[in-house]
Amino acid sequence: MASTPTTQQSKTDRGSLDWLRTYFPFLVLIVVCIGFAAFSDQFVSARNFETVLRQTAVLSIAAMGGTFVILMGSIDLSVGAVVGLSSVVVAYFMQIFGIVAIPSGLIVGALIGAAVGFIYAKLKVPSFIVTLGVLVAGHGMMLHITEGRPIMVRDEFLRWIGSGSVAGVPTIVLLAIIAFLIAYFIQNHTVLGRSIVAIGGGEVVAQRSGIRVDRVKIVTFALAGLFSGLAGIVLVSRMGAGSPTAGTGLELDVIAAVVIGGTPLTGGMGGVAGTVIGALTIAVLSNGLNLAGVSSYTQLIIKGAVLIAAVIVSIDRKKIGIIK
């Protein structure tokens, strides 16, 4: 049967949209870099490049977990609170137990993530509502633990994580690379990764194909919490303290990084490789705007506009009603 002009046009439009979704992260990053390089000599310096990489570390690590959640068609608004709470817990326990308290950040993150996943999967509460509640409660717990004051950390090993380097590469950048490699392996070479993508593509179909959807949801949120816990450790190592305001607003940067990286809020496509590009774009954008002397208020407006543009390009409108 011959193709009609309408059919051919729809195929062309779909192909153009797929091309745009694939290369949109790179195009945005290139345009942002060229734009700031044209207006500031400081932007293209080696020192500033290292600064951008350091700024990307916390965001990219947290965004690895955020990618899995969004790939599944869910949303996580608790990322900033979990990262901040993990950093505060590490700072608090290091005053008592020293260096052995560092893994406490991972434990806190994973436990919170598992609890969120359980409420979401078993009690059927939308992920938006559950994680919004954790966002509020998490910041309250941070204020309670710190009593509104930063908890200083003077451990040399933690300081090395935050400001040291290995063979000239910042330690926190190496940790971010390791986190990416682990996330990439999970997504592309494990049953869990394939199950996450399948659920994002269609939960009912995934369940009928034998995937234990509830279990995957719980494990996915626990995994996201684990990455947030690692990001919290990196954050406290950079700051040298557990701050009561740590991680504030990070959840929006994580969502922006994931979406700019080509993973639509509807899930089922995209992945962690694009998220790294998205995180770099957010970091470059913030860095360039700071060098240009743009106020923090204006920066929020610009970031919001970029996020909206990324959502418009990446979202699958056929699934717009099933974001959970």
Predicted confidence pLDDT, tens digits, the chain (324 residues): 455 555 555 555 555 556 666 677 788 788 888 888 887 778 888 888 888 999 999 999 999 999 999 999 999 999 999 999 999 999 999 999 989 999 999 999 999 999 999 999 999 999 999 999 999 999 999 999 999 999 999 888 998 999 899 988 999 999 999 999 999 999 999 999 999 999 998 999 999 999 999 999 999 999 999 999 999 999 999 999 999 999 998 999 999 999 999 898 888 888 999 999 999 999 999 999 888 888 888 988 988 888 888 777 766 656 555 455
- pTM beyond 0.85, yes or no: yes
CA contacts within 13 A on the Cβ side of 78: 36
**Strand runs (DSSP E) across the chain, as ranges?**
151-152, 165-166, 169-170, 241-242
300 within domain boundaries: yes
Tokens of 207: 């369940």
The token duo for 81 is 């609170």
- Residue 36 has what pLDDT? 86
Q: Using CA atoms, how far apart are residues 73 and 75, in angstroms rounded to an integer?
A: 7
What DSSP assignment string belongs to 89-133?
HHHHHHHHHGGGGTTHHHHHHHHHHHHHHHHHHHS---HHHHHHH
Measured distance CA(205)–CA(96) in Å, rounded? 50
Could you tell me if residue 36 is inside a domain? no
The answer to whether residue 165 sits within a structural domain is yes
For position 268, what pLDDT does the model report? 87
The token pair at 52 is 């951008």
Query: Tokens 């406290």 sit at which residue?
Result: 236
Domains identified in the chain, total number: 1
- On whether residue 159 sits in a domain, the answer given is yes
CA distance 295 to 110: 36
What span, in angstroms and rounded, lies between the C-alpha atoms of 53 and 310?
A: 22
- Say if CB 75 and CB 129 are below 8 A apart: no
Asked whether residue 260 is assigned to any structural domain, the reply reads yes
Q: Tokens standing for 2?
A: 């011959």
Q: What is the pLDDT of residue 28?
A: 79
* Residue 121 lies in domain: 59-315
Residue 85's φ and ψ, nearest 5 degrees, are -65, -40
User: Is 274 within the bounds of a domain?
Assistant: yes
Residue 96 neighbours by CB under 8 Å, 6+ apart = none
Distance of CA 132 to the CA centre of its chain: 16
Using CA atoms, how far residue 263 sits from 98, 127, 255, 278, in Å, is 39, 17, 10, 10
Using CA atoms, how far apart are residues 282 and 63, in angstroms rounded to an integer?
12
User: Is 266 inside any structural domain?
Assistant: yes
In a domain, 51, yes or no: no
- CA dist., res. 89 & res. 78, Å (int): 16
